Chains A and B, each alone.
Chain A
């Protein structure tokens, strides 16, 4: 058994676009882009769409050009992407000793103790995920997380030669990758840092690996020092396992259209409170304070700008959607000013606590037991019958102000009424 640490970084290729293709075999060879909320800009591109459009390009600007090249655009369908991500991660988890889910389409795996050849293992992992989900993944394998990430990056650049899998545990291969990668390709090295490093004569990943660790720490931070050490092959980062309970929970969205009246804004705030409170209960926390804010568009010079927020102190630490909705909608009525065209609302839950964690003053108010029970029933019903089945009366079923998602695919895997339909 190998004793030294061994990591893989596994990521999904053009994840959102790949998800859209799973249930659309007719689009296997059609370039695809996925748009941000409200169909604002391009946030994902299949490989064959990359030549036609830049990442982040506004959709209204690119629309004509995309349709000219036969590129199909989708609104983002997070229910689908979330479900497919869970499938990919569960499959990988079943094949490796330990896993850290790093983002919706990326994970680090601990490979220590894997007996077979590493490239072969990477290939079998890739094959299995592709067969079971239809999602192609890339695999980078190395002795540290930072090197694994760099290997993955290289695997993508050399897709035709590597088939998406690179093992750089061999020092000769590792050094080749370090010499042929820019410092800016390294995990955590942003644009500003790149400029600083270049000023010090550090251009390639190899330059960074060989830089003096103490100088890096003094000039920048211990994080950059660790990055350099990891590039040199000394593991400084471990898999991060348990997901920590969040200290703040935020729910915010742009409205599908500008709103000038209070009632629909109150509906939106009630909706966001509902979502945030559900997340709060899912992590078993209570909250004592919340911030409700609304704002107009900030970039259009022809519009009057207004942004205002209110801090709401809750009477006791709570997770009760009803109480929180009442206080949040009261608050937004106070900060709303007529004559503005609002574009966004946000609800931020703060001062989160675990039950029993806060010192309970004998005479302090506590959340009534009945509210907790009611909320559990509501969550159970919504888990079973779908989000929004049971909700406060202030939350509309289909809001006029909802997001524009005109080109959204079905919830193929999460809604029984939207299953993929196949002819027979």
Chain B
């Protein structure tokens, strides 16, 4: 696995400068002309946007997609859900997190775990897609 260092992420409250050189006397910072602002996870995940919501997931059916029990998923309600998207959906009033399959008139909610078969959504079912999962966040020190 190759790793690219992105810089220091900052919390939502802080406009801290990326560099802070305090030079009371002497040579001015050579970096001063190259300040590029901050890296913000809020911005990266767009979680301040009015159509973005955080939801916690529980269960092991989406492990194959890298979503584990206790993870937080970042959900976009502004996107049209498409075939292949991981979605939060209400199936007969019950909220679930699954992969949406919608091809050739067949609608299914699929798990990413061999122990759970896909759930066909038929005429008698009531399904509403609540939002599209864009990212997931997990605590690796758990």
Q: Which residues of A contact B (CB under 8 A)?
A: 25-26, 28, 86-88, 90-91, 128, 131-134, 380, 383-384, 413, 416, 419-424
Contacts and interface: CB of A to CB of B under 8 A. Distances in A.
Interface in B10-41: 11-13
A132 B50 CA distance: 7
B97 interface: yes
Contacts of B96: 422-424
Given A25-B130, A28-B93, A420 B56 contact: yes
B57 A413 contact: no
A25 B95 CA distance: 7
A384 B53 CA distance: 18
A330 B61 CA distance: 59
Contact of B78 (A26, A88, A131, A380): A131
Contact of A384 (B11, B50, B94, B128): B11
Given A25-B93, A28-B128, A424-B59, 16 more contacts: A25-B90, A26-B90, A91-B50, A131-B78, A132-B51, A132-B77, A133-B50, A133-B77, A413-B54, A419-B56, A421-B56, A422-B88, A422-B95, A423-B95, A423-B96, A424-B60
B121 interface: no
Given A28-B93, A133-B77, A384-B13, A421 B50 contact: no
Nearest to B73: A422
Contacts of A424: 57-62, 67, 69, 96-98, 111
B51 A416 contact: no
A26 B56 contact: no
Nearest to A28: B93
7 contacts: A25-B90, A87-B51, A380-B13, A421-B58, A422-B88, A423-B95, A424-B60
B70 to A, nearest CB: 10
Nearest to A92: B50
Contacts of A421: 55-58
B58 A422 contact: yes
Contacts of A132: 50-51, 77-78
A421 B95 CA distance: 9
Interface string B103-142: 0000000010000000000000000101000000000000
Contacts of B95: 25, 420, 422-423
A132 to B, nearest CB: 4
A290 to B, nearest CB: 29
Contacts, number: 79
A86 B61 contact: no
Contacts of A384: 11-13
Nearest to A129: B50
Given A384-B12, A423-B58, A413 B53 contact: yes
A422 B77 contact: no
A419 B72 contact: yes
Contacts of B111: 424
Contacts of A419: 54-56, 72
A423 B57 contact: yes
Contacts of A422: 55-58, 88, 95-97
Nearest to A87: B50
Contacts of B97: 422-424
Nearest to B97: A424
Contact of A133 (B11, B51, B57, B69): B51
Contacts of A423: 57-59, 94-97
Contacts of A413: 53-54
Contacts of A380: 13
Contacts of B69: 424
Contacts of B128: 25, 28
A133 B50 CA distance: 8
A131 B130 CA distance: 8
A26 B51 contact: no
Contact of A91 (B12, B51, B57): B51
What 8 A-B pairs are tightest by C-beta distance, nearest first?
A: A25-B90, A132-B51, A424-B97, A87-B50, A26-B93, A90-B50, A424-B59, A384-B13
Contacts of B94: 25-26, 423
Nearest to A380: B13
Contacts of A91: 50-51
B62 to A, nearest CB: 5
Nearest to A94: B50
B139 to A, nearest CB: 12
Scoring B11, B95, B130 by chain A CB atoms within 10 A of each residue's CB, the highest score goes to B95
Nearest to A91: B50
Contacts of B51: 87, 91, 131-133
Contacts of A87: 50-51
Scoring A91, A133, A420 by chain B CB atoms within 10 A of each residue's CB, the highest score goes to A420
A27 to B, nearest CB: 8
Contacts of B60: 424
B132 to A, nearest CB: 11
